[in-house]
Amino acid sequence: MNAQLDQLKFDSRGLIPVIVQDAANGEVLMQAWMNRQALELTLQTGKVHTYSRSRGRLALKGESSGHFQLVRQLLTDCDMDVVLVKVEQLVAACHEGYRSCFYRAYDPTGKQWKIVAPKVFDDKAVYQKK
């Protein structure tokens, strides 16, 4: 048992929101969910593991793309109900080809969110079915 993890406040489904941030420049890369097992694996391996709510299973970030997130620091907020993971990001965090999942900005003059970042890899080539 890990007494520090016992202090975190998981929701009724056993999940806690996780914010992943670039340790070098502070850029927010993504938001995900972790259960206790994902947190334990993250601490054991030094690579971010998440819980995929849509797939109902654990996922190693980068398992398909090779774009791993190497853990540099793990923090929690004052309420201990959110985790912040500072990482060294290999290539990109977003499965759509962008470095960060936060690549769309609200455009008050338009009908669509505006893409404000360049793609850093070809997502179709990386995630094509083999």
Among 96, 102, 90, CA closest to 124: 96
pLDDT tens by residue, 80-98? 999 999 999 999 999 999 9
pLDDT tens by residue, 5-62? 999 999 999 999 999 999 999 999 999 999 999 999 999 999 999 999 999 999 999 9
pTM, to two decimals: 0.94
Residue 116 has pLDDT above 80, yes or no: yes
- CA 19/CA 84 separation, integer angstroms: 5
pLDDT tens by residue, 63-86? 999 999 999 999 999 999 999 999
Residue 130 binned pLDDT confidence (cut-offs 50, 70, 90) = very low
pLDDT of 8 reads: 98
pLDDT of 128 reads: 84
Contact 18, 41 (CB under 8 A): no
Residue 129 binned pLDDT confidence (cut-offs 50, 70, 90) = low
Domains defined for the chain, CATH in brackets: 3-125 (3.10.20.810)
